Structure 1
Amino acid sequence: MLPTVNRVLLGAVGLVLLAVGGAVLAVGLGASAPSWWLHDSPHDTLLSTAERTRWRGDAWWWPTVIAVLALLVLLTLWWLTAVLRRRRLGELLVDTGDGAGALLRGRALEGVLAAEAERLDGVAHAHVSLKGRREAPAARIRLVLEPHVDPATALDQLTGRALAHARDSAALAALPADVWMRGVRHKAERVS
């Protein structure tokens, strides 16, 4: 959901900034402005001296301005950290036994784990993503099951085969997994 909100918010802010900036530029270059616009001519200022100093003497003005700006800065920092935070594990630290260790790409293990899960009986599609730390990864697995398969059986096969192979091959002490299952959706067909 966050990528959708991110795109919609960035698109709305971009459109508003483009519209206002384009209108100010057009009026500054000599285009005629509507009667309700902030300024009318290229030599007009956006805010007059009276508008800029109207609430300067009121006790509530500066604390309100500072609070709104601080809130805006905090929201911007929250948004920036949400955008820059990595959703997936980039690499895993594999113990090679010689004390040096090796790095395994997270997407490689995700692909192998998904392929092995799809080979299980009754699994139509599998999607795997790794999260957590390099030393202690966790898997999030989404399975699409065929109508004939029992979910408990599919879960037992997944944990006994695919997750066990991934844990053993990466020399991990544990590989916790959240498994989400749903049935495959078939399109209705007309029978004549």
Structure 2
Amino acid sequence: MAVPATYTTLDLSGKCTMNKTLTDQSALDAVLKLQGVGMLKRKAVGLAAPTMRIRHFTNAAGVEQLEIEQVGVLRLGESAAVDVDREDQRVAAPWYRRGAHERGELGDAFLESGWTAETLEHGLIEAEMRGGDAKWTFVQTWAVEEVNNGERRHVRHARCTGPKGKVIEMKFVYDYAGSL
């Protein structure tokens, strides 16, 4: 299901479920393998349709924050949050908004292209995660993209780099499942 017109990088609040048809499952398996996830866990992830509960807000100090809880799948590090209060539910990931004036600073056409006009205006969200042993990095850009004949969807462009320099690129496409 497409996201509503009000769903932009200025407010990503809501529930989104991974669309297993529009997300390349073989690439997802390859990314998890590169991150050292065992075959049984990868198969379990492949059977699941993870849902994210995203809370996007500005705190009392005026700092923009994202809290993302992933539900319905093993906790494998794909979740991210700025404020972490329960490590079993959330994994910290540094993120920031990359504004239109910074476009091109990633130096990466895959991570920076394909977004809607309002994303380019308001900026996209960039997050980076590293394996605990620093053997892999996982860089994502999050925003709204038109897919499947113009449907506005929550999409994440991701690049995973493994311990031997192997790189896998993929897009995670999500169905909007409603507000929180």
Same fold (TM over 0.5): no
TM-score between the two structures when normalised by the length of structure 1: 0.21
The structure with the largest alpha-carbon Rg is 1
**Of Structure 1 and Structure 2, which has the larger fraction of its residues in strand?**
2
TM-score between the two structures when normalised by the length of structure 2: 0.22
Larger RCO (CA under 8 A, 6+ residues apart): 2
